[in-house]
């Protein structure tokens, strides 16, 4: 019997051509299912959900605990089909950025744009104690304190909780061990999204400005860390506009030669 090939990217069939495709990287402990459902709200675009080891149908696989190993595996296994956009929320935003940087450094086709949500720029990340060593109940309690309620089955089913928390602990280990390496800024546009009531400092979101020589936008929505679940209409309207804009013909970009001026165009709404 032949072993099944791990599916790194999940997507739903399309009947019409897409304006652009978007690869989505999950937050800590997140699964691809949520992003697959986004396709119903972004009908003009091909939404592709990245499925990491230790998630979904790959639950039995050993998850990554270090950023470099994860990014190397992503680039080695995912054929990012140009033109495309990378989206990431929280931990996923850091993974999306590091993936774009590594693709650039390897001379491979990079994204037309980055859409980064719910986390500060690497150099501005707040220092928080690692939660990866907390036991199950303590970890759930801390997650709920920081990010809001978790699904009831995580409290009610110890076996399910153990399985899902394994991937979450690995993600938290990536965050606590992440040490960004100084690098030239990217040249693709960067859009940063966040919730006005999130604990993530807004200055940290604005700090992404220096990571590109291209266009930069910051948009804050009502809500907390998972603002897009609270106000989906405003979120999907804006995200659809960003994706359509990224697919528009543009002046060829040149390789960046220095840091961009630390000036952002912030839009609150």
Active site residues: 90, 225
Buried b (16+ CB within 10 A) or exposed e, 216-244: bbbbbbebbbbbbebeeebbeebbbebbe
The SS3 call for residue 6 is coil
Element (H, E) at 62: none
Other Cβ atoms within 10 Å of 254 Cβ, number: 8
Asked whether the beta carbons of 230 and 179 are under 8 A apart, the reply is no
CA atoms within 13 A on the CB side of 109: 9
Rounded to whole angstroms, how far apart are CA atoms 183 and 167? 29
Residues comprising the chain, all counted: 269
B/e letters for 67-92, b = 16+ CB within 10 Å, e = fewer, are: beebbeebbeeeebeeebbbbbbbbb
């Amino acid at each position: 019997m032949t072993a099944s090939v791990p599916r790194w990217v999940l997507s739903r069939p399309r009947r019409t051509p897409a304006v652009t495709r978007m690869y989505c990287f999950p937050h800590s402990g997140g699964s691809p299912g949520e992003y697959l459902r986004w396709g119903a709200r972004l009908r003009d675009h091909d939404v592709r959900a990245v499925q990491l080891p230790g998630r979904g149908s790959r639950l039995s696989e050993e998850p990554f605990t270090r950023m470099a190993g994860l990014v190397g595996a992503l680039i080695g296994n995912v054929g990012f089909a140009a033109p495309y956009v990378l989206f990431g929320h929280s931990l996923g935003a850091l993974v999306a950025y590091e993936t774009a940087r590594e693709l650039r450094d390897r001379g491979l086709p990079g994204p037309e744009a980055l859409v980064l949500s719910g986390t500060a720029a690497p150099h501005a990340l707040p220092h928080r104690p690692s939660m990866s060593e907390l036991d199950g109940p303590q970890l759930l309690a801390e997650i709920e304190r920081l990010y809001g309620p978790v699904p009831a089955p995580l409290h009610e089913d110890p076996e399910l909780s153990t399985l899902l928390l394994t991937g979450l602990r690995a993600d938290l280990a990536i965050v606590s061990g992440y040490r960004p390496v100084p690098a030239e800024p990217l040249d693709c546009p960067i859009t940063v999204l966040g919730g006005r009531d999130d604990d993530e400092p807004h200055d940290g979101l604005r700090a992404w400005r220096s990571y590109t020589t291209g266009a930069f936008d910051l948009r804050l929505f009502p809500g907390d860390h998972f603002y897009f679940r609270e106000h989906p209409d405003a979120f999907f309207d804006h995200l659809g506009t960003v994706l359509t804009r990224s697919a528009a013909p543009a002046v060829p970009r040149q390789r960046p030669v220095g840091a961009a001026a630390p000036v952002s165009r912030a839009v609150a709404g």
